[in-house]
Chain A
Amino acid sequence: DAMVIQNPRYQVTQFGKPVTLSCSQTLNHNVMYWYQQKSSQAPKLLFHYYDKDFNNEADTPDNFQSRRPNTSFCFLDIRSPGLGDAAMYLCATSRERVATEAFFGQGTRLTVV
């Protein structure tokens, strides 16, 4: 059974049109992460939530925002997608910040046209 669920699996958006990607978890984990993975590259952390505490990576562009309305859900908002934002976006969870194991969703592949 899927524990970290990302919807949709594939998303096409227009250049400059805001888009939201969603992630839900059934694990009741405190920490939720968003990673960006471009083609043939390793995943790169954008930000994470520890409960309601938001932590942004220093090099994450302002174009990327996130919301976590409750423990189970987390959203990635891209305010004005550019062609360079086309990537796989991965959501992950862990019980605590120092937990040994992170659980990843299947990812949402974003195409910008």
Chain B
Amino acid sequence: DAKTTQPPSMDCAEGRAANLPCNHSTISGNEYVYWYRQIHSQGPQYIIHGLKNNETNEMASLIITEDRKSSTLILPHATLRDTAVYYCIVREPGAGSYQLTFGKGTKLSVIP
């Protein structure tokens, strides 16, 4: 079973920041939060991951609450090409945790 809860869908105006929430209230101390996205008819694409500190890369920012029970993926200036299903995944990077267990994700629609 997926360890995360995400809203099924969200809309965002083009050019505005998209803030995608994820609840992972049962996260354990060694588990990281990963985000992937899947554009229609394509394979999933890695976006970002973090443990407890906020992270930023060229694609997005990841904000993790202090208690680590939830996080937010931020796309600072959403474009139409960011329309996709976004998956939040909790994973412990140890032996045996070789798979990504995808939950249902959030379908983000960027509106012109």
Interface residues of A (CB under 8 A from B): 4, 31, 33, 42-45, 48, 50, 55, 57, 88, 90-92, 97-98, 100-107, 109
Q: Which residue in B34, B44, B93, B105 is a CB contact (below 8 Å) of A90?
A: B44
Chain B hits for A101, CB < 8 A: 46, 49
Give 11 A-B pairs besides A92-B44, A97-B96, A109-B41 with Cβ atoms closer than 8 angstroms. Answer: A42-B104, A45-B100, A50-B98, A90-B44, A98-B93, A98-B97, A100-B49, A102-B46, A103-B46, A104-B43, A105-B43
Q: How many residues of B contact A (CB 8 A)?
A: 24
Interface residues of B (CB under 8 A from A): 2, 32, 34, 41-46, 49, 87, 93-105
B32 touches A97 (CB 8 A): no
Query: Closest residue to B101 on the A side, CB-wise?
Result: A45
In the complex, A24 Cα to B83 Cα: how many Å? 28
B102 touches A42 (CB 8 A): yes
In the complex, A57 Cα to B100 Cα: how many Å? 13
